[in-house]
Amino acid sequence: MTDCVDFLIVDDDEIFAGILARTLKKKGFTAQTAGNEVTALAECARLTPYRIVLDMKLEDSSGLNLIGRLLNIAPAARIVMLTGYSSIPTTVEAIKLGAINYLCKPASADDIIDAFDKVTGNPDISLPQQPHSVDRLEWEHIQRVLNDNGGNISATARALGMHRRTLQRKLQKRPVKN
């Protein structure tokens, strides 16, 4: 028989995951962390989590690749994708793959808890006053091509007609806000 846990936190940033787990425990939840894909799958099978906080960019893989596998192990679990590298294509893919919400880092424990409760859309959300900047559009395009190439940097660089190192430098920068 497996145990149950309120939250499984899958993030390769051990400090962030540990702080989030401690904060959730102080709020009365049970929480377990996993720092990589293998541990996440094992802990999911062992603990049957109700909620999974899944980082988009893990050290050795993409969180997108884990969504379906985690839901196969724990079909009743709900997943919120958490990332410091947000983009429209990854948001859309995460939702299509089964995540119920998508948050940009930094996010507080309360933001994360609230994200699990917000499963319906808001038609009254405010619309941006300005279109995205050229830098933001470039970031979105790079993310879409990267996603189309399964995260392969070399293939993406070839598709974009740029040197691999140039692409890597662009990917290391935080996405442009506007």
Tell me, yes or no, whether 157 and 81 share the same domain.
Answer: no
Confidence (pLDDT) at 113? 94
Residue 44 domain-assigned (yes or no): yes
pLDDT score, position 1: 46
89 in a structural domain: yes
How does pLDDT run across 11-50, given as a tens digit for each residue?
988 998 999 999 999 999 999 999 999 999 999 999 999 9
Where is pLDDT greater, at 70 or 105?
Answer: 70
Q: Are residues 91 and 163 in the same domain?
A: no
Shared domain for 99 and 30, answered yes or no, is yes
Q: Tell me the Cα Rg of the chain.
A: 17
Cα of first residue to Cα of last residue in the chain, in angstroms, is 49
Domain assignment of residue 12, given as a range: 5-117
Alpha helices, DSSP H, located in 27-163: 37-47, 63-73, 88-97, 109-117, 134-148, 153-160
60/86 same-domain check: yes
Same domain, residue pair 71 and 35 = yes
Number of domains in the chain: 2
Q: Are residues 45 and 89 in the same domain?
A: yes
pTM of the model: 0.72
Chain segment 39-94, per-residue pLDDT in tens? 999 999 999 999 999 998 888 788 999 999 999 999 999 999 998 777 778 888 99
For residue 48, give the CATH number of its domain. Answer: 3.40.50.2300
CATH number of the domain within which 159 lies: 1.10.10.60
Q: How far apart are CA 31 and CA 116, in angstroms?
A: 15
Banded pLDDT at 147 (limits 50, 70, 90): confident
